[in-house]
Chain A
């Protein structure tokens, strides 16, 4: 057959979707193109009568006036109240509110500038969960089904939104008390195809740099506070600063000069207190939420060049509230949705240790349709160093079977074993923290990794992991993350 022409973007998208399910269909591409093009050609042209639309609108709205929308089932009939009626600014040691502060931050431009530091420049890279800073990775809370995560049946947002994170607080309703977690063992089974890994890879380190500190230092030098003589303090720096907007729906900007990090939260004094949930009828869809986030970044000149496109963070839609009076549990509507802009370094996506995309996060309020917070806005550039990569796929798969970076807690007394099917891995970078030797401070590394998706679980109860992450840098794979055994604690004599 003659080569088919006129492959439109929609047609290409549809073909890519089909091949993502069954690659073998690519062999029949010409036939598929004909079918899809015929379907497109056969699409009826629909002419909607605008008069009909507006007449119906009038009828529908007239009828809707008679309704009590709160009467729909399980619509929570509770008054929403912010957990904090009063609040206190935290952050800056000085009570400084500036209307305009010009801070010359390093201009990142579009892509990250990456500086090669030579081989093994960042020292030994070992994984230590205690140094992992989950607040920096807000794509979602770490779900650890094996670690007794049954303490709650809802996903908490780890967004540090300042005062409160939008959880429902109401009269007569409490969060569900932790329920008993049945000891369960998990058997990870790889069901994907064979794969290969190249023997060298680049590890990246985010540079702290002094750009922000230097700019804030200039401000410190110009300050004149009557109640204290700052000139008598030597070599002073401003390590953090909070700036607030004095307007309705204003924001507070928190600048951390130590970590070269900026976060933005709602200025609590300037946002209306909530007296109702967002209506399920008016909730924006995913496209609108992303659009709200994109516009916020554009309005405030926050560079998106280092990140991929914004994505909605999948999260549990409701969380359960139990009535104190013993009534039937109600379900709450989420008030905020998180959007993640995944960090990308040299074309690779960065993930957190739970396998979720890591990057700049925004929180969008569904009632006001505004961004309420933005965090992990990274300033500064990246250094790179080449390291040896683990190429032994048997060793990699054993690491997966042992639960990946967080191991696999084995209960000797467990009566239940759940099979977890793991799929084909994708390559990426995993974010970890490394403590500086001899110091309390730490720095961020992005290490080559394989992210194995969880395809299916034989019993989903209390299992929340979506991926198993395997960092490929040699030293990390040599750490013992084997099945953890409970040690018998000898009885006191």
Chain B
């Protein structure tokens, strides 16, 4: 069996591999750097606290870690901020005065209301694919889903976005961007 020193070294490697990905994952759900830092720390601490609950039968350790990250963000909004039925900052788009990094608010202005209408799972897949460039296999591991299912959800979500956006928005984007 690996000794404790080996375990710690292994966990160090695991931390190094995942910390920035987890941070990014949380940042896309909070849009605030300091909040993302706090919740990233909380995620890793929770993972260590509840290590005994990790069941190798149910999936990979990295998938479990992402689930903890997701639940930590939900707890943050529902428990600490008392926003009921809010999973992340997208659910608050345009509704509340919440702490967000200024440049993020500006950048997301045009697409925010459309992304906010998506289900959390759809939004996660789109963000992981388009913003993080993950393959569907990687996305499936993160979300604990089937790779083909992720691909289909992504395709249908983009189609939904196309249908949601009125023609005027397309024309405006075309005129002002190209």
Contacts and interface: CB of A to CB of B under 8 A. Distances in A.
A35 B162 CA distance: 7
Interface in B135-178: 136-138, 151-152, 154-156, 158-159, 161-162, 165, 170-171, 173-174, 177-178
A227 to B, nearest CB: 47
A69 B2 contact: yes
A4 B54 CA distance: 48
A60 B27 contact: no
A73 B19 contact: no
Contacts of B27: 44, 46
B55 interface: yes
Contacts of B173: 34, 38
A25 interface: yes
A75 B56 contact: yes
A70 interface: yes
A64 interface: yes
Contact of B2 (A1, A6, A276): A276
Nearest to B105: A44
Given A14-B130, A69-B2, A48 B155 contact: no
A71 B103 CA distance: 44
A46 B24 contact: yes
A466 B101 CA distance: 48
A17 B154 contact: yes
B57 interface: yes
Grouping DSSP codes into helix (H, G, I), strand (E, B) and loop, the B interface class, with mixed when no group exceeds half, is: helix
A70 B1 contact: yes
Q: Closest 4 CB pairs between A and B? A: A21-B155, A281-B14, A73-B55, A282-B10
Contacts of B57: 73-74, 318, 331
Contacts of B96: none
A279 to B, nearest CB: 4
B99 interface: no
Interface residues of A, number: 64
Contact of A72 (B24, B52, B101, B170): B52
The residue in A42, A49, A73, A280 that gathers the most chain B C-beta atoms within 10 A of its C-beta is: A42
Interface residues of B, number: 68
A331 B8 CA distance: 23
Contacts of A442: none
B33 A47 contact: yes
A56 interface: yes
Nearest to A1: B174
A279 B61 CA distance: 10
A73 B56 contact: yes
Given A36-B130, A53-B20, A280-B61, A331 B162 contact: no
A369 B39 CA distance: 32
A493 interface: no
B86 to A, nearest CB: 19
B40 A56 contact: yes
A35 B107 contact: no
B37 A52 contact: yes
A20 B151 CA distance: 9
Interface of A: 1-2, 4-6, 10, 14, 17-18, 20-22, 25, 28, 31-32, 34-49, 52-53, 56-57, 59-61, 63-65, 67-75, 77, 79, 275-276, 279-282, 285-286, 318, 331, 333
Contacts of B60: 280
A70 B6 CA distance: 12
A48 B48 contact: no
Contact of B136 (A17, A64, A71, A285): A17
Contacts of B107: 41-44
A61 B51 CA distance: 14
Contacts of B23: 46, 48, 53
B1 A79 contact: yes
A52 B33 CA distance: 11
B111 A34 contact: no
Given A77-B1, A279-B7, A279-B10, A56 B56 contact: no
A61 B33 CA distance: 23
B92 interface: no
Contact of B37 (A21, A49, A64): A49
Contacts of B171: 1
Given A60-B44, A61-B15, 20 more contacts: A4-B178, A17-B129, A20-B155, A21-B156, A34-B173, A36-B130, A38-B177, A44-B103, A44-B107, A45-B103, A47-B33, A53-B23, A59-B45, A61-B12, A69-B7, A72-B51, A72-B55, A77-B1, A279-B6, A282-B14
